[in-house]
Chains A and B, each alone.
Chain A
Amino acid sequence: MVMWRALVQRELQLLGRQKADWLNPLVFFLLVLSLFPLGIGPEPGMLKQIAPGLVWIAALLSVLLSAERLFKDDYRYGVIEQLVARRQGLFSYVTAKICCHWLSTGVPLVLVSPLIAVLLGLDWQSWQVLLVTLLLGTPVLSLLSVLGAALTMAADKGGILQALIILPLYIPLLIFASGAMEAAATALPYTGQLAVLVAFLLFALALVPLAVRQALRMNVG
């Protein structure tokens, strides 16, 4: 536990020094969403109708954007090689990375969701559902992007490769998250979709950290 706290602290120090790593995705998210009303026209009915898909596509792309450099530096400077040789700390390192990635990209999206609701003309009820889907969905986004980053860290230009690996895995999430919001907008029950999101989250939480650790070992070996 002491080790884990020290590793989280290190990640936070790195985020503090490399602010672009978490500010860029957030700015990208807001920019994309603020362009849509300009491009499509400000009719509230239209915006409200496409809002679920819109928010989630923007969230997917912005998280993807943030993940590319996640392991690059640590790989290049030999940190990962030495961690793999050390064995013990590797799993803590992976979980600390995942937690801090969510803190730095998922949580800001959750925090700006009221602003998004205003931009897209969502009512109180729809905003609540948006908030719940973001809370459940962004950790899954983080988990999957960390996995993508771990698999492609040794590749020179890993960005596109990572998108190709990870985007298909995002699709179920996109369908159920925006499905929940659409159902809520038409006053249908949406707990089913939320339950699927919870299942995704638990499944990813259980398996992805192990897969990431294995991917790191594989890339070093």
Chain B
Amino acid sequence: MSIILAAEALSCVRQDRVLFENLSFQLSAGQVLYIQGKNGAGKSSLLRLLAGLTLPEDGRILFRGKPLSEQAEVFAEHLLFIGHHSGIHPQLTALQNLAFWAAISEQAVADPYQLLGSLGLAGLEDIPCFMLSAGQQRRVSLARLWFSSQLLWILDEPFTSLDQQLIAKLEQHFLQHLAKGGVIVLTSHQHLAAEYPALQAIELEYRW
């Protein structure tokens, strides 16, 4: 199997504190990287490194065998990153937010009403997102996963404030993405319920 994403001896320093060092992993098509760790252990920092937003203190990240720095555009093309903040503007409606992200990733949403309806947002498509609950906003944000064709998903705490039913649905969707040869990197404080064919887990220690 071809290796999609690899990290070689990554180190990350934030405010003079070493979050992690000498971290390596390899992810091939269909694999999940599940990052665990206490608050402040560096999970989000690791994801931001992998998404190409910040540069590692040491080490390098390879996408399909080539360093990120040499092919930033190509990598970004294949990346779907949903960070700690949802990327949802609270003054816009669910439909408008969806249209914005669809335009950015240059993909058309065939039926946005049907998509939002399937995520339990039927009837809430046309009201500004600040009127929605935290979980509902998270659903609007995650709706992108259902129409994006990117290979690599990097998701920071995707399950936060979702109910059990939607978590199950989301994990089902993860499995479909993996079956198609996708790669997922995610952080979470809760255990993954579904059976993943090839799961790699990393536990980040909280260090002083």
Contact = CB atoms under 8 A, between A and B. Distances in A.
A1 to B, nearest CB: 11
Given A14-B89, A73-B91, A74-B89, A81 B106 contact: no
A127 B52 CA distance: 52
Interface residues of B, number: 31
A87 B106 contact: no
Main secondary structure of the interface of A (DSSP, over half): helix
Main secondary structure of the interface of B (DSSP, over half): loop
A18 B91 CA distance: 8
B86 to A, nearest CB: 6
Nearest to B76: A87
A220 interface: yes
A49 B150 CA distance: 62
B128 A17 contact: yes
B99 to A, nearest CB: 6
Given A77-B86, A86-B79, A13 B53 contact: no
Contacts of A10: 92, 96, 99-100, 103
B19 to A, nearest CB: 16
A89 B81 CA distance: 14
Contacts of A76: 85
Interface string A4-15: 001101100110
B17 to A, nearest CB: 18
Interface of A: 2-3, 6-7, 9-10, 13-14, 17-18, 73-74, 76-79, 81-89, 93, 220-221
